[in-house]
């Protein structure tokens, strides 16, 4: 029984062929297709307004040099948001519950921000490893601590996203299983757990949106440190 709870996190396959690529590319079908006109319908208007809002929120923390990253950060935000929300639908697979995928997203972007800082302002980037006014005996320990905290940033990004989404999916499955099991024996308790399940689903929708925003926001803050 315990193993079946984690079956939802295994990558789907058909005839031995993994289908995770289809799960990752399917959200692109929800985006508006290119057109000669700026606005084609209300849905396109709403999507453009939402993309503009996301871009403004992400660019607030960056100066003009960081605005070159607007396209990739906004695209990543929309990609994670759609995948997280679609993963809440029944009988669907959420690729962002896989730590390997989240690390594959976090590590290259974090490394790009780090290399950008080392190329543009190497002295300032290396100066972050040693706070000003540090006593001489503590210099080696602080450099080691700051280096470690710098290197675990992509791991923290990937683990945070994976843990929050995985915990939410497990809670939803546990409560839904309890609701079905109690329906025949204790209908009143089953209705109560059904209400809890409804509230938890609303919470998970909020968590899916917040985690996508936090992931990209932290990347933008790492970028701001290096430009």
- Greater model confidence, 198 or 2: 198
Question: pTM for this structure?
Answer: 0.81
Q: What is the mean pLDDT of the chain?
A: 82
pLDDT above 80 (res 209): yes
Listed by start position, the domains of the chain span 19-225
Residue 4 has pLDDT above 90, yes or no: no
List CB contacts of 65: < 8 A, sequence separation 6 or more. 227
* Confidence class for position 109, pLDDT limits 50, 70, 90: very high
Q: What is the mean pLDDT of residues 193-204?
A: 91
Average pLDDT estimate for 114-140 = 79
pLDDT of residue 76 exceeding 80 = yes
Burial class (CB in 10 A: 0-12, 13-18, 19+), 162: buried
**Whether pLDDT at 1 is above 70:** no
Predicted confidence at residue 36, as pLDDT, reads 64
pLDDT reported for residue 215: 93
3-state SS track over the chain: CHHHHCHHHCCCEECCEECHHHHHHHHHHHCCCCCCCCCCCHHHHHHHHHHHHHHHHHHCCCCHHHHHHHHHHHHHHHHHHHHHHHCCCCCCCCHHHCHHHHHHHHHHHHHHHHHHHHHHCHHHHHHCCCCCCCCHHHHHHHHHHHHHHHHCHHHHHHHHHHHHHHHHHHHHHHHHHHHHHHCCCCHHHHHHHHHHHHHHHHHHHHHHHHHHHHHHHHHHHHHHHCC
Q: Which of 10-24, 59-73, 83-97 has the lowest mean pLDDT?
A: 10-24
Query: pLDDT > 90: what percent of the chain?
Result: 21
Q: Taking the CA atoms of 99, 104, 110 and 111 in sequence, report the sign of the dihedral they define.
A: positive
Residue range 215-225: mean pLDDT, rounded: 89
* Rounded average pLDDT over 148-167: 91
User: How far is residue 45's CA from residue 53's CA, in Å, rounded to a whole number?
Assistant: 12
Q: What is the pLDDT of residue 2?
A: 47
Reply yes or no on whether the pLDDT at 143 is more than 80: yes
């Amino acid at each position: 029984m315990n193993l079946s709870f984690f079956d939802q996190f295994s990558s789907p396959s058909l005839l031995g062929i993994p289908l995770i690529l289809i799960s990752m590319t399917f959200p692109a079908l929800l985006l508006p297709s290119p057109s000669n006109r700026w606005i084609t319908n209300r849905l396109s208007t709403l999507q453009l307004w939402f993309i503009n809002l996301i871009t403004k929120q992400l660019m607030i923390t960056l100066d003009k040099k960081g605005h070159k990253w607007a396209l990739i950060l906004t695209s990543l935000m929309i990609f994670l948001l759609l995948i997280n929300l679609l993963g809440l639908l029944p009988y669907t697979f959420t690729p962002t519950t896989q730590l390997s995928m989240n690390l594959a997203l976090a590590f290259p972007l974090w490394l790009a921000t780090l290399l950008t800082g080392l190329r543009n302002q190497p002295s300032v980037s290396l100066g972050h490893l040693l706070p000003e006014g540090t006593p001489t005996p503590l210099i080696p320990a602080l450099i080691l601590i700051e280096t470690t905290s710098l290197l675990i940033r992509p791991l923290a990004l990937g683990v945070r996203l994976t843990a929050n989404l995985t915990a939410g999916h497990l809670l939803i499955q546990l409560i839904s299983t309890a609701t079905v099991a109690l329906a025949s024996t204790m209908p009143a308790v089953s209705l109560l757990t059904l209400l809890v399940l409804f509230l938890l689903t609303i919470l998970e929708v909020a968590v899916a949106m917040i985690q996508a925003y936090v992931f990209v926001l932290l990347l933008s803050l790492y970028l701001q440190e290096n430009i």
